């Protein structure tokens, strides 16, 4: 799509990009998705490690490459009220892409930000691979196309004004949605929208603004939906009143993962319960539809169900770990006495459950279906639902709703599939909501994994670094898998499966550690798995950074100085230097407290994180009812370089969230598998970071533009935060943990019953009013 005849990147001048003016009654402009391939980076200093695949081409590049041959158009419409509208083929789940994309459009159009409306597009099968929200890829893949479309719109509006006034375009200026002539005549974009429209579709080219001319991009902006959020007006799927007759529905689920219904003893009795309208056996359990969700809970609990076994009934934490250890690929370099270091780490299952549980509205008729849900791969959802219902894909309309968090969960569409099945079986529209307990026990989880590392060193250098990672299989059976398959021949990873491909495309060691290899092997156990915010990196990087600290100690070097001397790029050193300076690295601290530092590079960006942790008994022993307390991270400084920050305030928000995730993964947050089911069933069992574990001093520092291209942001900060907390804990306690989270060995709660699958709501809420 790029016209390369104009100056190359890095030289002055403006590049032209191709787009379209589409036939429409008002101004409608479009561009194709897809970006330039990345420039390979070169390694330098120390014992150079050859570039790994992720250095040459990362997951985001692979996704945008997948989009190129098949992508269709994204379009921006200018209406007579002077607004620009864009139906974004991505999912907004809190990561702030709606606001950042609106900023790009407003910037290139010279339109006030509040006049840009970004909505979420329905599933558009013609986009094939291009409606997938994942891999922190949205801004990277949209950066040029949306700006191209907006620049074309601006140029058309200028031409329309020039025609109206019979003056050359060079005498006109565009600003804040108004075009002004040299003689002072003005016309709003709205008043020109119809004159600028085209009766036929034509290809045109546009010049994009130089980065130096940006006045909005790069400035901190608040979320465009912030007011709707704080007034309760923002609508998530279950808040929508879009489908007449869609009543609440919930599901009784099996006592083990993937168990199925043998028989139900009291179907008629439950159907006759107050408020219950329908009961149906489905592939995943027994569905109850009722007037209210409260009555569905009663119905679900009253069901007397006999179950067939599930897919992992014999599995528990220890059986899975044995299988992982057995499946860990062998190390290649032999151990060298006195000059090598071996380490092993276990990472427990962790739920990617969002605060909004899995849900969907479904209305299935004999000849068509309509679905509403927050979906990051809506085209895949549409295909699968059509297949399940026995309908052509074109008969299934899939609306993408605002999502209440994702963290990988909404890559899948378990609730949308299930809601469609229930609606078809009952012959009525439903609003399906998963109970919280089911969302933990039967929802997706980041799989347990095991990492073995061997590093060898001599004469002040690290000579080899090998990491062997074994994981319960991660399910990539959503759009990502297909996108990578389609691109496989062009990827620098050879003939690998999906998971290995993702691993190769995301994992790179930022240090010159000589011969460096990282290999993944998977154990195909039938748990409900999926990605969780940054897939492999949090675990792989935590293990690596702990080993880096140990290497530094073996070689009698300070952890920061050691990292500094081996980092491959100046950008990486810059964030490390900055974090060490701002975080006052090396300051004297009381016994039982310590600093920790870590570096992570991915998504064409990099972070350095410095944390301080308090592991003294008076802190670890602090009491909060029904909570785990333990060590407290007291301070975090994170320095982040994303190449080109589009919305620094949104980027800071993402990094704050990543810090909360990293603290939880290191210290408190895991699923315990026992007899084929996670024991966790509520947020007081699954210990995601809470206020009492939140640091009181957090500083996020965003580096000024470096590469000039926006990198990925949504997941970038998790791995470094996790690793820095782990390193700080090891330094504070003098013990390097071998298992994460560190409290996983103790079950700190009483598990909810397995049967019935969901607990009843309490009735004593007023006793706790404050």
Partner 1 sequence: MPQHSFKLNGETVTVEAPDDLRLLWVLRDIIGITGPKYGCGLDVCKACTSHINCKAFNPCSVPVGEFTPTDEITTIEGLADRSTGALHPMQQAWLDLDVAQCGYCQPGQIMAAIAKVRQAKAAGREIGDDDLDEIRNICRCGTYVRIREAIKTAAAKM
**Ranges within 652-691 binding partner 1 (CB under 8 A):** 653-654, 656-661, 682-684, 688-691
Identify the CA nearest to 247 among candidates 435, 429, 433, 434. 429
Q: Is the peptide bond before 446 cis (omega within 30 degrees of 0)?
A: no
Cβ-based neighbour number of residue 767 at 10 Å:
7
Structural tokens at position 170? 């060079």
Q: How far apart are CA 329 and CA 521, in angstroms?
A: 7
**Quick one: which of 19, 53, 60, 96 contacts partner 1 (CB under 8 A)?**
96
Q: Select from 429-437, 499-507, 608-616, 704-712 the region that touches partner 1 (CB under 8 A).
A: 429-437
What does DSSP assign to residue 374?
-
Q: How far apart are CA 455 and CA 46, in angstroms?
A: 15
Nearer to partner 1, 500 or 684 (CB): 684
| Min dist. Cβ of residue 500 to partner 1 (A) | 30
Residue 534 binding partner 1, by CB under 8 A: no
**Quick one: which of 53, 177, 403, 737 contacts partner 1 (CB under 8 A)?**
403
**Ranges within 241-270 binding partner 1 (CB under 8 A):** 241, 248
Residue 616 binding partner 1, by CB under 8 A: no
SS3 29: strand
| Min dist. Cβ of residue 413 to partner 1 (A) | 18
| Min dist. Cβ of residue 64 to partner 1 (A) | 25
Nearer to partner 1, 334 or 625 (CB): 625
| Min dist. Cβ of residue 93 to partner 1 (A) | 6
Nearer to partner 1, 62 or 758 (CB): 758
**DSSP per position, 702-743:** EPPPSSSS----TTTTHHHHHHHHHHHHHHHHS---SEESTT
- Counting residues that bind partner 1 (by CB under 8 A) gives 76
SS3 137: coil
**Quick one: which of 189, 407, 566, 740 contacts partner 1 (CB under 8 A)?**
407
Query: What track of x and - describes contact with partner 1 for positions 74 through 93 (by CB under 8 A)?
Result: -------------------x
Nearer to partner 1, 45 or 233 (CB): 233
**Ranges within 458-517 binding partner 1 (CB under 8 A):** none
**Ranges within 623-652 binding partner 1 (CB under 8 A):** 624, 626, 649
**Ranges within 741-760 binding partner 1 (CB under 8 A):** 759
Run of H or E residues at 60 = helix 59-67
Opening angle at CA 703, ends 580 and 634, nearest 5: 45
**DSSP per position, 139-194:** HHHHHHHHHHHHHHHHHHHHHHHHHHHT--GGGEEEETTEEEETTS-EEEHHHHTT
Nearer to partner 1, 214 or 236 (CB): 236
**Ranges within 314-373 binding partner 1 (CB under 8 A):** 353-357
Q: At what angle do helices 570-582 and 559-566 cross, to 10 degrees?
A: 160
Nearer to partner 1, 41 or 690 (CB): 690
Nearer to partner 1, 190 or 429 (CB): 429
| Min dist. Cβ of residue 113 to partner 1 (A) | 14
Opening angle at CA 636, ends 633 and 640, nearest 5: 145
Residues 422, 289 contacting (CB under 8 angstroms): yes
Q: Select from 150-158, 294-302, 543-551, 553-561 the region that touches partner 1 (CB under 8 A).
A: 294-302
| Min dist. Cβ of residue 404 to partner 1 (A) | 3
Nearer to partner 1, 141 or 401 (CB): 401
Residue 446 binding partner 1, by CB under 8 A: no
Q: Select from 290-298, 491-499, 591-599, 602-610 the region that touches partner 1 (CB under 8 A).
A: 290-298
Nearer to partner 1, 556 or 768 (CB): 768
Nearer to partner 1, 127 or 445 (CB): 445
What is the 3 state secondary structure string of 567-631?
ECCHHHHHHHHHHHHHCCCCCCCCCCEEEEEEEEEECCEEEEEEEEEECCHHHHCCCCCCCCCCC
Nearer to partner 1, 365 or 649 (CB): 649
| Min dist. Cβ of residue 631 to partner 1 (A) | 15
Residue 444 binding partner 1, by CB under 8 A: no
Nearer to partner 1, 76 or 243 (CB): 243
Identify the CA nearest to 95 among candidates 133, 131, 60, 147. 133
SS3 247: strand
| Min dist. Cβ of residue 242 to partner 1 (A) | 13
**Ranges within 691-750 binding partner 1 (CB under 8 A):** 691-692, 694-696, 698
Nearer to partner 1, 339 or 692 (CB): 692
**Quick one: which of 268, 459, 489, 769 contacts partner 1 (CB under 8 A)?**
769
* Burial bucket for residue 576 (CB in 10 Å: 0-12, 13-18, 19+): buried
Nearer to partner 1, 311 or 694 (CB): 694
**Ranges within 198-237 binding partner 1 (CB under 8 A):** 222-223, 225-236
| Min dist. Cβ of residue 440 to partner 1 (A) | 10
**DSSP per position, 252-297:** E--SSTT-EEEEES-HHHHHTSTTEEEEEEETTEEEEEESSHHHHH
Q: How far apart are CA 215 and CA 70, in angstroms?
A: 34
**Ranges within 118-147 binding partner 1 (CB under 8 A):** none
* Burial bucket for residue 445 (CB in 10 Å: 0-12, 13-18, 19+): buried
């Amino acid at each position: 799509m790029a016209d390369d005849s104009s100056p190359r990147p890095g030289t002055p001048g403006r590049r032209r990009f191709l787009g379209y003016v589409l036939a429409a009654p008002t101004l409608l402009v479009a561009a194709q998705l897809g970006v330039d391939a990345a420039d390979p980076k070169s390694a330098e200093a120390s014992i150079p490690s050859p570039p790994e695949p992720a250095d040459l081409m990362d997951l985001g590049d692979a996704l945008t490459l997948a989009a190129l041959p098949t992508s269709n158009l994204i379009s921006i419409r200018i209406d007579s009220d002077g607004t620009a509208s864009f139906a974004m083929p991505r999912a907004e789940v809190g990561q702030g892409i709606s606001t950042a994309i609106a900023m790009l459009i407003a910037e290139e159009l010279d339109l006030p930000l509040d006049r840009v409306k970004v909505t979420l597009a329905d599933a558009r099968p013609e986009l094939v691979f291009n409606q997938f929200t994942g891999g922190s890829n949205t801004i990277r893949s949209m950066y040029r196309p949306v700006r191209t479309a907006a620049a074309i719109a601006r140029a058309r509006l200028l031409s329309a004004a020039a025609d109206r006034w019979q003056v050359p375009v060079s005498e006109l200026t565009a600003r804040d949605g108004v075009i002004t002539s040299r003689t002072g005549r003005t016309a709003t974009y709205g008043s020109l929208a119809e004159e600028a429209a085209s009766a036929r579709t034509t290809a045109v080219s546009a010049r994009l603004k130089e980065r130096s001319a940006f006045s909005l991009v790069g400035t901190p902006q608040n979320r465009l939906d912030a007011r709707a959020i704080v007034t309760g007006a923002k609508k998530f799927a279950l808040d929508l009143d879009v489908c007449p007759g869609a009543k609440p529905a919930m599901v009784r689920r099996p006592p083990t993962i993937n168990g199925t219904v043998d028989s139900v003893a009291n179907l008629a009795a439950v159907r006759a319960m107050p408020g219950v309208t329908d009961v149906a056996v489905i592939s995943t359990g027994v569905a109850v539809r009722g007037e209210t969700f409260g009555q569905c809970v009663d119905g679900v609990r009253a069901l007397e169900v006999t179950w067939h076994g599930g897919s992992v009934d014999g599995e528990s934490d220890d059986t899975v770990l044995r299988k992982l250890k057995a499946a860990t690929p062998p190390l290649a370099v032999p151990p060298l006495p006195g000059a090598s270091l071996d380490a092993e780490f276990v990472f427990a299952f962790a739920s990617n459950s969002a605060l909004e549980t899995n849900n969907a509205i479904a209305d299935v008729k004999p000849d068509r279906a309509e679905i509403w849900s927050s979906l990051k791969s809506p085209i895949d959802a549409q295909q699968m639902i059509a297949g399940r219902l026995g309908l052509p894909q074109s008969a299934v309309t899939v609306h993408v709703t605002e999502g209440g968090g994702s963290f990988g969960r909404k890559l899948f569409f378990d609730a949308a599939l299930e809601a469609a099945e229930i609606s078809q079986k009952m012959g009525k529209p439903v609003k399906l909501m998963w109970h919280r307990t089911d969302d933990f026990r039967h929802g997706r989880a980041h799989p347990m994994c095991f990492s073995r590392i061997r590093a060898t060193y001599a004469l002040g250098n690290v000579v080899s670094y090998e990491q062997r990672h074994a994981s319960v299989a991660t399910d990539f059976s959503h759009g990502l898998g297909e996108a990578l398959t389609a691109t496989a021949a062009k990827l620098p990873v050879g003939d690998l499966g999906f998971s290995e491909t993702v691993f190769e495309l995301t994992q790179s060691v930022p240090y010159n550690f000589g011969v460096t290899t990282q290999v993944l092997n998977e154990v195909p156990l039938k748990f409900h798995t999926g990605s969780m915010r940054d897939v492999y990196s949090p675990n792989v990087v935590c293990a690596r950074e702990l080993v880096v600290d140990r290497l530094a100690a073996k070689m009698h070097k300070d952890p920061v100085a050691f990292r500094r001397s081996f980092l491959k790029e100046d950008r990486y050193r810059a964030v490390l230097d900055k974090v060490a300076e701002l975080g006052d690295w090396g300051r004297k601290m009381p016994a039982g407290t310590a600093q920790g530092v870590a570096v992570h590079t991915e998504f064409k960006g990099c972070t350095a994180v410095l944390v301080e942790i308090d592991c003294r008994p008076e802190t670890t022993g602090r009491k909060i009812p029904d909570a785990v307390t333990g060590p407290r991270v007291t301070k975090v400084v994170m320095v982040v370089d994303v190449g080109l920050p589009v919305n620094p305030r949104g980027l800071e928000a993402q990094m704050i969230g990543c810090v909360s995730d990293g603290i939880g993964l290191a210290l408190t947050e895991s699923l315990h598998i026992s007899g084929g089911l996670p024991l966790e069933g509520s947020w007081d069992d699954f210990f995601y970071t809470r206020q009492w574990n939140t640091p009181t001093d957090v500083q996020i520092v965003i580096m000024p533009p470096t590469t000039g291209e926006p990198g990925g942001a949504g997941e970038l900060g998790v791995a470094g935060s996790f690793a820095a907390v782990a390193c700080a804990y090891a330094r504070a306690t003098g013990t390097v943990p071998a298992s994460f989270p560190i409290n996983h060995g103790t079950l700190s709660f009483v598990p909810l019953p397995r049967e019935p699958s969901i607990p009843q709501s309490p009735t004593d809420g007023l006793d706790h009013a404050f």
